[in-house]
Each structure stands twice: as structure tokens, then as C-alpha cells.
Amino acid sequence: MHFIPYLLILLAASVRVIDHPANFVPVAAVALFGAVYLSRKEALLLPLAAMFISDILIGFDSLESRLTIYGCFLAISLIGLWVRNHKNFGTVLGASLLGSTLFYLITNLVVLYPAKMYAHTWAGQAASYANALPFFRNTLLGDLFYTAVLFGAYELAVVWHKRRQLAYEHSR
């Protein structure tokens, strides 16, 4: 099982590097999944490692942007640490939606970017959020898709393993 964190980092970093719809990436799902099933240390490092590795290949933008985005993924990991003790379909779904929404709300705060991009006013803030709606849609869809794939595959593997164990025990 020690290969799983590396596999998750590779998955998240690879999808960011290949051609994909904007914001339709597994980084938030990896952060959430890692926080639920791996150690706390791995949970916090997974999304940061995936982002850093892929940013080396894609390129870095401003320090403020990177810190904001990395911070959002750390927040999603923290949400996942809460889900770890309350895991069910609803909390995983809710955590994925909450993570997507936090990412959208935080990364589109105009005060984090130069005033040339959006005026640091209510109108500028509204424009920032409105212009980011297509990206938010992709973030939601990507987070839900990859969360379903990761959690679903893991839970199916657990059920399959338990059935094999029971079959083995009954065959002895």
C-alpha cells in the first residue's frame, strides 16, 4: 500500500500536464481521498507534491497565485481529515462540493490579484466571480468525477477483498 501516495501524485500531476478541459483535474479529489485513507502527513503533502511537480512542467505564475491555490488544496485536505471520522456517501459528496466551492470563492478574490485584472471593488469582485463561472463548472464536474472514481474504486476493492477473504475462510 506504500505505492498509493505516489500513484495519486502521478495521477494528479499527469492530468494537469496533459491536454484537459480547464480545471477538470483530480487534485482536489486526491487531497480529499488522501486525507480519508492515508496518514495525516501524506494527506497534506499529496496535493502539494502533485501541484509542485506539475507546476515545474507547466510553469509557475505569481507567488500569490500559487500560495492561494496550494492553500486551497490544503484546506480540502483538512476537510478530508474531518470526513475520515464521518465517512459516508453524503459527507464525501458534501466535502467534494464544499472543496470545489471554496476553491472558486477563494481563488477568485480580486484582492489577491493586481488591480489591473479586476478593480478592487464590489463590481470588480462580481466580474471576477462571473467570469470564473465556466471554470467553476469544470471544477465541480472534475472534482465530482475524480472523487467518485477514487472513492468508488477503493470501496469496490475493499468489498472485493473482503469477499475473497470470506471465500477463502469458508473453503478451509
pLDDT digits (tens, 9 = 90+) for 118-169: 889 999 999 999 999 999 999 999 999 999 999 998 888 877 877 777 776 7
Q: pLDDT tens digits, residue range 26-60?
A: 999 999 999 999 889 988 988 998 889 888 998 88
pLDDT for 22 equals 86
Query: In CATH, what number is assigned to the domain containing residue 146?
Result: 1.10.1760
Cell of 31: 487531497
Looking at the chain, how many residues does it have? 172
pTM for this one?
0.86
- Report which of residues 19 and 138 the model is more confident about: 138
pLDDT (tens digit per residue) in 58-102: 888 878 888 999 999 999 999 999 999 999 999 999 999 999 999
Mean pLDDT on 1-28: 80
- What's the start-to-end Cα distance of the chain, in Å? 27
Distance CA(115)–CA(86), nearest Å, equals 42
* Strands (E) located in the chain: none
Q: Supply the pLDDT for residue 135.
A: 94
Domain count, the chain: 1
**Nearest partner of 110 among 93, 128, 98, 88, judged by Cα:** 128
pLDDT score of 154:
85
Enclosing domain of residue 77: 4-171
- CB of 42 closer than 8 Å to CB of 82: no
Read off the DSSP letter of residue 138. Answer: H
Angle between helices 4-17 and 27-37 (to 10 degrees): 170
- Model pLDDT, residue 172: 67
Is residue 1 very low, low, confident or very high in pLDDT (cuts 50, 70, 90)? low
Grid cell locating 151: 472513492
